[in-house]
Chain A
């Protein structure tokens, strides 16, 4: 069931680590996405998940983001998302994740 999960990691502005992923975050990739995200959140002070190359996020993906947000918060760190567009942005707004995560439009908007 597991699919290859394509991702990248880069230094962003203001001390953020930008975690870029592409493709889908769905029931078949969520487990891998969380594992990769957990590694980055644990070692970084501030992690921004860049969704600009993601065209699909299901509830499994929403749960990944919630878990990573909680993990960051529990450890005195920050986790947010940037770059969501189209249906991905709609899903984040309808579930209230845009507010919870203080979603930013682009990497350059990270505070």
Chain B
């Protein structure tokens, strides 16, 4: 099966969100997609990137490499892997957020990863060569 591949490396910063969105636009530009699936892909990408931006490097700075692949035949599955060199951390092990009124006023943890998981067809984490690698898959049609 032929696939289109692309790689982007940016600073782990919310300021790079537009660059990541543009990268995803470019990645899926040549394949048909269901509008809702596209929205959900964007959401999963934002939630994971922002999670890395906010937490991977603590008070320090670092980079994120985004590796994208899209199959060139139905269901045009998009695979996006996010790599960072922050402390080993598997966000998929976090408990779902508690959104009850008494709790949410203090801190809502895990909401982004909860949504990323919900919006993806598959999501997985591995620690590889000193890097956190979080990978999502989404069928575009």
User: Does A27 contact B99, Cβ atoms closer than 8 Å?
Assistant: no
User: Does A94 contact B104, Cβ atoms closer than 8 Å?
Assistant: no
| Whole-angstrom CA separation of A28 from B17 in the bound complex | 7
Size class of the B contact interface (CB-based, 8 Å): 20 to 34
Size class of the A contact interface (CB-based, 8 Å): 20 to 34
Q: Could you mark each residue 1-32 of chain A with 1 if its beta carbon is under 8 Å from any beta carbon of chain B, else 0? A: 10000000000000000000000001110000
Residues of A within 8 A of B59 (CB): none
User: Does B50 contact A60, Cβ atoms closer than 8 Å?
Assistant: yes
Picked from B14, B15, B105, B115, the residue with its CB within 8 Å of the CB of A59 is B115
User: Does B14 contact A95, Cβ atoms closer than 8 Å?
Assistant: no
Q: Does B36 contact A (CB under 8 A)?
A: yes
Q: Return A56 CB to nearest CB of chain B, in Å.
A: 6
Nearest chain-B residue to A86 (Cβ)? B36
Contact A87-B39, Cβ < 8 Å, known A1-B14, A59-B111, A59-B112: yes
User: Does B39 contact A56, Cβ atoms closer than 8 Å?
Assistant: yes
Nearest chain-A residue to B39 (Cβ)? A87
The dominant DSSP class at the B interface is helix
Picked from B42, B104, B112, the residue with its CB within 8 Å of the CB of A56 is B42
The dominant DSSP class at the A interface is helix
User: Does B118 contact A58, Cβ atoms closer than 8 Å?
Assistant: no
| Whole-angstrom CA separation of A63 from B104 in the bound complex | 10
| Whole-angstrom CA separation of A39 from B114 in the bound complex | 30
User: Does A59 contact B47, Cβ atoms closer than 8 Å?
Assistant: yes
Q: Does B60 contact A (CB under 8 A)?
A: no
| Whole-angstrom CA separation of A96 from B18 in the bound complex | 28
Residues of B within 8 A of A56 (CB): 39, 42-43
Chain A residues numbered 49-66 whose CB sits less than 8 Å from any CB in chain B:
55-56, 58-60, 62-63, 66
User: Measuring CB to CB, which residues of chain A are less than 8 angstroms from any residue of chain B?
Assistant: 1, 26-28, 55-56, 58-60, 62-63, 66, 70, 86-87, 91, 94-97, 100
Query: Apart from A27-B50, A59-B114, A87-B36, what 19 extra A-B contacts exist at CB < 8 Å?
Result: A1-B17, A27-B17, A28-B14, A28-B17, A28-B18, A55-B39, A58-B46, A58-B50, A58-B112, A59-B47, A59-B111, A62-B111, A63-B111, A66-B108, A86-B36, A87-B39, A91-B115, A95-B97, A97-B99
